[in-house]
Structure 1
Amino acid sequence: MSQTDGTSGYDDEGPRRKKRPVLIVVLSLLTVVLIAGGIAFGYLYSLMNSFQSKAQTIESVFPSDEPRPERPDESADALNFLVIGSDVRGGSGETENLADVPNGGRSDTMMLVNIPGDRSAVNVMSIMRDTWVEIPGRGEHKINAALAFGGVPLLVQTIEGLVEAPIDHVAIIDFEGFKALTDALGGVELNNPQAFTSGGSAGEHFPAGVIELDGESALKFVRERKQFKDGDYTRVANQQLYMKAVMSEFLNADTLTNPGKISDVVSEFSPYVTVDQTLDSMKLATIGVSMRDVRSSDVTTFTLPNQGVGRSADGQSIVVYDPAATAEVAEAIKNDTLAQYVAENNLQN
């Protein structure tokens, strides 16, 4: 893999690997591509070598000077991935009272992807970007400011502090890769619950019901938030809806029995992915084989519970953090029972 230096993977001009902003993510490459289990290990390993030769790496993504959460025996074999979509233009688009935050490198989309120890499922938890939390060493801010303040290590440290569990790997995905993935799959189909027009009346219209999306239209679908009364809540739900559609398309028989199509997906998507340097081709292939029985119906998506919208003491519009609910989520992750917790509390989107 190509490699960037430093602790954040960013320099003064934004991401070293791309001029265009990292914005949207569907799921870790581990759970979008490697989940194609049942493929011969040798072929999967070859695919991952192809990925490794094209993807980018960040030298350091984990906090080095602070103690990190330990993994209890109950979840010793589980894996946690942090998947980041970052808007280097400023994240939320809000500027009030943020003069001390660099105008760039905010994490616009954050998903914690939890794979249980028995490899029977994938749990995807979205974290609202405006969630008002304590960022270590910086005080209270929207969580999407952590990336700007201290790069990927500080964002990892912040989220590990919330869920009280270690993050094993990190993936950052450029929105050009998002489009490439969609088009390599030949488009995706989903059932849109709410009609809207992206960007206002002059934009693309998405009717309610079953719709087909190519890369360009899918990007518009998952980015839109201003057309919804609840803003980012519906956008996060649409991102999860799209992610499920990608999973369904990738895991259908037509794709899994077509090595050429799988190779095309890996080839088209890889150049727009940045991962931590510990995620080598052997590890990728091994995880992929271990998940050979997972299908789209085994993917659970939900949003970290919160107390709705509100205002910070300095007047910013925020998503109010729910410490009690977050503690319950953390306990479920520790016990490797996250899917059960989500089902029992009716949290699945």
Structure 2
Amino acid sequence: MDNQSDPEGAAESKPPKGNFAWLPVWLRRQPTWLKAVLAMVLVMALGSTAYAFSQVGRGGPPAPTASGVATAEGATATPSPTEPAPAPPAPPPPAPEPPPVAMNILIIGSDSRGDSRAEEAQAAAGTPADQRGDVLMLVHVPADRQKIYGISIMRDMWVNIPGRGEAKINAGLELGGIPLMVQTVEGLFNTHIDHAVMVDFPGLWAATDALGGVDVNVTVPFTSTHDTRHNFPAGINHLTGGQALEFVRERYAFADGDFQRIRNQQTFLKAVISKFMSAGTLTNPQTVLNVVNAVRPHWTVSPGLTVETMAKLGFSLRDVGPEDAIFFRLPDGGFGFSTTGQSIVFQNPGAIGAISAALASGTLADYVAANGFEGGN
């Protein structure tokens, strides 16, 4: 029997209030140039953030005042009545950007119901914390920026956790926080992970509500075993934040458990992408900012994933649309039990080896096509 508990009773999280003065000035002045976002948490925590950040203060630098021209110090220079006002100096040309390279980002959905940042700091410092990786997805962004690939990893997959021995992969977050979770997935795929993003349950709830809810196509009807015991009939369902949380968490209602849960998570991701990139959202800066403001307290990123990095990533993906986001599940080696009696999922060494080789050679598109994963798995 699975010894991992699945806590219940999420409390509603309301988007915090406040302005965006914390953004760098250069970013608050950027014009509108992002039109694509990433997937799931990447959509909510990276793509939406990058897009929204580029919208804030998009009116540009201060305009000339009625009596003169604004100076760099904020004072006003009054022009001579017989001479035209001096033209402002031309901005220096931007430094050339190096060509983009492939990028791997680990997306972690923490099952924390408390202070996820405090729990993360505790785990990263070496003391186990009450959090596990309830959702794990390796997002691969190819160098050509034509697609986005999301590889879902089953939370019960039995792996080697560096320095801790064999365990379910989701225990990496509990035992060592994001750093150990990254090391574990790097070891599984024998690849480098550039950045990591973790979002907790309340963050997903808040982001969904900030978007006004999302529409998902329920292919396997079920009644949730969590929280409100919501019923999800077959067909299109409009989900609020709390319902979305029940939808992506559920596994006990399905004959194949976590397999259907991963399929539902991928369905939800695509729905979020489509809703965020719809004309009604992208042309409404307030909605974009509401999403960012709602998610910001609930996500934790690795140190190198700065605002500037996110904005540049978003810009490099400006031609990517929802149809270009491809999700598939990492093939497994079946179910079984550990020596301690835990119900686990075995690895599929052949599939992992093939994906590792494709990531290293930049040929993941060929692997996806050869295995029929274009439509998700």
Give your verdict on TM over 0.5: yes
Tell me the matched-pair count: 287
Greater relative contact order (CA < 8 Å, ≥ 6 in sequence): 1
- 1:137 is displaced (CA, Å) by 2.1
1:81 aligns with 2:96: no
CA spacing shift, 1:285–1:27, aligned 2, 3 Å: same
Query: Whose Rg is larger?
Result: 2
1:134 to 147, 160, 183: 160
Deviations 1:197-242 (A, max 9, x none): 0018971100011111111111111111111111111111111110
Give 1:265's aligned residue: 291
CA offsets, 1:169-219, max 9 Å, x none?
111102111111111111101111011000189711000111111111111
The equivalent of 1:72 in structure 2 is none
With over 3 angstroms needed to count, the CA separation of the structure-2 counterparts of 1:227 and 1:245, relative to structure 1, is same
**Once the two structures are superposed, what CA deviation does each residue of 1:80-118 show, in whole Å capped at 9, x if it has no partner?**
1111112248xxxxxxxxxxx957222121111111111
Distance 1:329 1:118 in 2: 18
Match of 1:43 among 55, 59, 78: 55
Structure 2 gap segments, 5+ residues each: 1-10, 14-38, 59-98, 114-126
- Preserved CA contact (<8 Å) 1:188 1:214: yes
TM, length-normalised to structure 2 = 0.70
CA contact (8 A) 1:34 1:289 kept: no
Q: Is the 8 A contact 1:34 1:287 kept in 2?
A: no
1:181 alignment partner, one of 174, 194, 207? 207
Instruction: Please give the residue correspondences for 1:164-179 in structure 2 after superposition, counting only pairs within 5 Å.
Output: 164-179=190-205
Aligned equivalents of 2:227, 2:287: Cα separation in 1: 36
Paired residue for 1:346? 372
Note if contact 2:107-2:137 (Cα within 8 Å) is conserved in structure 1. Answer: yes
Matched, 1:204 2:230: yes
- 3-state SS, counterpart of residue 167 of structure 1: coil
Does the CA-based 8 Å contact 1:247-1:296 persist in structure 2? yes
CA separation of 1:251 and 1:42: change in aligned 2, threshold 3 A: closer
Instruction: Write the deviation string for residues 126-179 of structure 1: whole angstroms up to 9, x where unpaired.
Output: 110100112222222111112222222221111101111111111110211111
Counterparts of residues 241-320 of structure 1 (less than 5 Å): 241-320=267-346
SS in 2 for 1:27: helix
Describe the superposition over 1:34-61 as per-residue Cα deviations: whole angstroms up to 9, x where unpaired.
575xx9x953797xxxxxxxxxxxxxxx
Of 117-126 and 138-147, deviating more is 138-147
**TM-score of the pair, normalised by structure 1:** 0.75
Gaps in structure 1 of 5+ consecutive residues:
1-18, 47-74, 90-100
Q: Distance in 2 between matches of 1:179 and 1:190?
A: 15
Aligned to 1:111: 137
* CA–CA separation in structure 2 for the residues paired with 1:195 and 1:278: 41
